[in-house]
């Protein structure tokens, strides 16, 4: 059987070097051979572990944050509870369990999961069945009904959306592409020089080799989220590793079995991600009349939501797991773990109260 690398090589032979975004889109989302499409990559036995897979506390605190926000914005009904890229469904299940404290909220909500991977949809269904929650699946966010306040969370979803890269060469920017480099090998290449959008450019002068990244799908989805929140209310929490640009830098990375791997070597068999630049996402939210809060670091966000107290209570109830709970708390919050690299941004309606976790 042809591998995905063979298919990509044939495409490049036929049509010429492909933009980085096309390569990334195929590596992750090819209809049969894409990384997320054909397998469940999460967990110890997989390639990487995410915050909700580290501890139930992560999803519980986000559930409590949403429950508090729902109450403080007048307990609207109905509402759409949406997750983009829900992985194994762990975060959604933990949120739903935490929302048990507000039976009226559970009555008011319908759950919508935006997921392209058949393998992961099955995992999500099992997680939600276990907590007695029905859900509807969609291939893209614009298919979620647009008729009610939105309570939306996306954890490590935006980093999986294809980035476009430009590289500086001889004083000019060029679209960065991927070319064939002999049988079974790829290399980076450059297309003709082109103008890059002004807002991508940092203040300092570009040097040869500098790289700029932009993620048009992330901007489009954020714009649609903000348009809906401006119209109907609600909140979106976007959680990911990243920064607030503009900045030069090549952040494309591949991870396989918990180790960094060469980016171009095994398309479809390694996770391929790029850091999220939150600046254009904030601009999109504001352009639609919403308020963008943050970013705050994941460590500060979880501390403000009470992770330390939650960990202490959990350890008291399960003394046999106290060490694991302490380890999970450090992993989620500490600066040298996920606490500083991961950032949280909220989108809310203009004039609406600020959610918990975004205190000055
Ligand atoms: N949020 C989960 C999983 C993160 S992995 C967690 O924190 O554990 C990325 C998730 O996004 C996976 O569920 C993957 O299948 C999904 N995904 C990636 N690209 C997508 C796309 N373009 N549309 C919908 N889902 C996508």
Per-residue pLDDT of the chain (360 residues; tens, 9 = 90+): 789 999 999 999 999 999 999 999 999 999 999 999 988 888 878 888 999 999 999 999 999 999 999 999 999 999 999 999 999 999 999 999 999 889 999 999 999 999 999 999 999 999 999 999 999 999 999 999 999 999 999 999 999 999 999 999 999 999 999 999 998 899 999 999 999 999 999 999 999 999 999 999 999 999 999 999 999 999 999 999 999 999 999 999 999 999 999 999 999 999 999 999 999 999 999 999 999 999 999 999 999 999 999 999 999 999 999 999 999 999 999 999 999 999 999 999 999 999 999 977
Question: Backbone phi, then psi, for 106, in 5-degree steps?
Answer: -60, -35
> What local confidence, expressed as pLDDT, does residue 216 receive?
98
For residue 196, is it within any domain?
no
Closest ligand 1 atom, residue 41 Cα: 5
> What local confidence, expressed as pLDDT, does residue 359 receive?
79
Å from CA of 116 to ligand 1 middle: 8
Closest ligand 1 atom, residue 53 Cα: 8
Rg of the chain on CA atoms, in Å: 21
Å from CA of 160 to ligand 1 middle: 7
Burial 45-82 (b: 16+ CB within 10 A, else e): ebbbebbbbbbbbbbbbbbbbbbbbbeebeeeeebbbb
> What local confidence, expressed as pLDDT, does residue 292 receive?
98
Pocket test for ligand 1, best of 27, 34, 61, 116 (most atoms within 8 A of CB): 116
For residue 120, is it within any domain?
yes
238 lines ligand 1 (CB under 6 A): no
Q: Are strands 276-277 and 234-243 parallel, antiparallel or unpaired?
A: parallel
For residue 22, is it within any domain?
yes
> What local confidence, expressed as pLDDT, does residue 43 receive?
81
Question: Backbone phi, then psi, for 250, in 5-degree steps?
Answer: -100, 105
For residue 173, is it within any domain?
no
27 lines ligand 1 (CB under 6 A): no
For residue 207, is it within any domain?
no
Total domains in the fold of the chain: 1
- In angstroms, the CA 161 to CA 182 distance is 28
Å from CA of 157 to ligand 1 middle: 5
Å from CA of 181 to ligand 1 middle: 30
> What local confidence, expressed as pLDDT, does residue 214 receive?
97
For residue 194, is it within any domain?
no
Which residues have C-beta within 8 Å of that of residue 95, sequence separation ≥ 6? Answer: 59, 60, 62, 63, 66, 81, 153
CB–CB of 130/210 below 8 Å? Answer: no
89 lines ligand 1 (CB under 6 A): no
For residue 182, is it within any domain?
no
Q: What three-state secondary structure class fits 128?
A: helix
Determine the structural domain holding residue 125 and report its residue range.
Answer: 7-164+217-348
- H or E element that contains 12: helix 4-15
> What local confidence, expressed as pLDDT, does residue 129 receive?
98
For residue 280, is it within any domain?
yes
| Domain CATH number, residue 341 | 3.40.50.12710
């Amino acid at each position: 059987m042809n591998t995905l690398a063979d298919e990509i090589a044939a495409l490049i032979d036929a049509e010429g070097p492909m933009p980085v975004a096309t390569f990334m889109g195929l590596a992750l989302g090819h209809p049969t051979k894409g990384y997320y499409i054909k397998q469940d990559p999460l967990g110890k036995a997989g390639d990487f572990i995410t915050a909700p897979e580290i501890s139930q506390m992560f999803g519980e605190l986000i559930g409590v944050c949403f429950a508090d926000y729902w109450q403080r914005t007048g307990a609207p009904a109905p509402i759409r509870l949406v997750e983009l890229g829900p992985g194994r469904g762990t975060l959604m299940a933990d949120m739903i369990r935490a929302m048990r404290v507000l039976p009226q909220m559970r009555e008011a909500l319908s759950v919508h999961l935006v997921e392209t991977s058949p393998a992961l949809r099955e995992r999500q269904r099992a997680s939600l069945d276990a907590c007695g929650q029905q859900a509807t699946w969609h291939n893209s966010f614009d298919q979620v009904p647009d008729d009610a306040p939105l309570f939306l969370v996306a954890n490590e979803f935006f980093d999986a959306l294809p980035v476009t890269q430009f590289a500086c060469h001889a004083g000019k920017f060029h679209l960065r592409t991927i070319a064939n480099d002999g049988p079974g090998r790829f290399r980076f290449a450059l297309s003709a020089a082109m103008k890059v959008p002004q807002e991508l450019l940092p203040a300092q002068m570009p040097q040869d080799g500098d790289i700029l990244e932009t993620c048009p799908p992330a901007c489009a989805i954020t714009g649609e989220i903000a348009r809906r929140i401006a119209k109907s209310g609600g909140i979106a929490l976007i959680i990911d590793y990243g920064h607030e640009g503009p900045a030069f830098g090549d952040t494309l990375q591949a991870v396989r079995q918990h180790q960094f791997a060469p980016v171009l070597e095994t398309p479809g068999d390694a996770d391929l991600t790029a850091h999220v630049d939150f600046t254009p996402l904030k601009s999109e939210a504001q352009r639609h009349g919403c308020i963008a809060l943050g970013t705050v670091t994941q460590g500060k966000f979880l501390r403000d939501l009470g992770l330390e107290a939650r960990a202490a209570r959990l350890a008291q109830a399960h003394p046999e797991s106290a060490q694991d709970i302490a380890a999970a708390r450090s992993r989620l919050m500490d600066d040298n773990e996920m606490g500083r690299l991961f950032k949280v941004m909220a989108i809310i309606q203009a004039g609406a109260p600020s959610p918990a976790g975004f205190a000055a």
